Amino acid sequence: MTPPLPLNGPDTSAVDDLVARLMAEAPDMTVPAGTLLFGQGDEADRVFLLREGRVRLFVGDDAGGAETVLHVFKGGDLFGLPAVVGLQRYPVNAEALTPCRLAVAHRGALLARLAARPEEVTDLLAALGRRWRDMTERLAEQKALQPPRRVKVFLWRQALAAGYAPGTAGPAVFRLPMSHVVAAGMLGLAPETLSRIFTRLTADGIRVRRRRVEIDDMARLRAAVEGDVTDRAEGAPPATAE
């Protein structure tokens, strides 16, 4: 049986406070869904604090084929960090998935603020390092799971992001903040594979219709995510991205 996964998100209050102070004077901008905020290889000259909306971080292969979604940011998240850690170019793409409101700090202005608060530089870098480590560890944990359980973990974490507490029992209803194509990219699955898994999950009391998710019993889903309920597909060969 796969070891239990950590179900609660990391405590980000320290980094959130630091980021809020550093970005307090940064001007806001609003962009429509589909806006490319920066592209792979663009000059890394800006840092973004997402106030409202969703932004995906992704890479594409050199042949212009399938995209890999690395992360989806939500309100309160900081991204574009290559601008302050010495990289000259962004190594990934960032695109608004929804209409977004963002605070934008140019590299020079942010570095000046950091220089004026040298006591906060170490704390900020340490906190951001912890956030990055948490994100990459959760991604690695997720990719090691069989696809059906991987999808259950994804839905569980989306329920938490929608405001449901980890101890919730009974039903939950929420909307996914991204399309099924983007979700499939996050999960390392082909969209058709994700669609088939969503269909099979109806037998477990989970229904996904477009972006609407209905979960009959959060406690049952939590047990499945923790590994207390054996995934019917465990032991089978991992599904490919097809």
Q: How many distinct structural domains can be found in the chain?
A: 2
238 band by pLDDT with thresholds 50, 70 and 90: very low
Four-residue CA torsion sign, 114, 115, 120, 125: positive
Q: Which domain range does residue 94 map to?
A: 12-137
pLDDT at residue 232 is higher than 60: no
Average pLDDT over residues 9-20: 58
Whether 183 is in a domain gets the answer yes
For residue 217, give the CATH number of its domain: 1.10.10.10
Q: Tokens in use for 238?
A: 């991992």
Predicted pLDDT of residue 35: 96
Question: Residue 15 has what pLDDT?
Answer: 58
Please give the residue that has the higher pLDDT: either 195 or 239: 195
Q: Contacts from 86-89 at CB under 8 Å and sequence distance 24+? A: 87/44, 88/43, 88/44, 89/41, 89/42, 89/43, 89/44
Q: How far is residue 204's CA from residue 76's CA, in Å, rounded to a whole number?
A: 33
Mean pLDDT of 143-161: 89
In angstroms, the CA 55 to CA 33 distance is 9
- 200 compared with 2, residue with greater pLDDT: 200
- What does the pLDDT read at residue 189? 87
> Which CATH number goes with the domain that contains 24?
2.60.120.10
Q: What would the pLDDT profile of 167-194 be if each residue is shown by its tens digit?
A: 888 999 999 988 898 898 888 888 999 9
Residue burial 115-148, b: 16+ Cβ < 10 Å; e: rest: eeeeebeeebeebbeebeeeeeebeeebeebbbb
Q: Is the dihedral of CA 115, 11, 151, 97 positive or negative?
A: negative
- Does position 215 have pLDDT exceeding 70, yes or no? yes
Q: How confident is the model at residue 158 (pLDDT cuts 50, 70, 90)?
A: very high
CA distance 142 to 124: 27
38 Cβ partners below 8 Å, 6+ apart?
44, 46, 80, 90, 93, 94
Cα pseudo-dihedral 116, 122, 127, 129, rounded to 10: 120
Q: Is this structure's pTM higher than 0.75?
A: no
Report if residue 68 sits inside a domain. yes
In a shared domain, residues 169 and 193: yes
Amino acid at 84: V
Fill in the DSSP letter of residue 71. E
Instruction: Over range 96-101, report the average pLDDT.
Output: 94
Task: Reply yes or no on whether the pLDDT at 233 is more than 50.
Answer: no
Is 109 a member of any domain? yes
Domain boundary among 114, 137, 160: 137
| Proportion of the chain above pLDDT 70, given as a percent | 81
Query: Does residue 9 surpass a pLDDT of 50?
Result: no
Do 153 and 125 reside in the same domain of the chain? no
pLDDT beyond 80 at 235: no
Burial 45-70 (b: 16+ CB within 10 A, else e): ebbbbbbebbbbbbeeeeeeeebebb
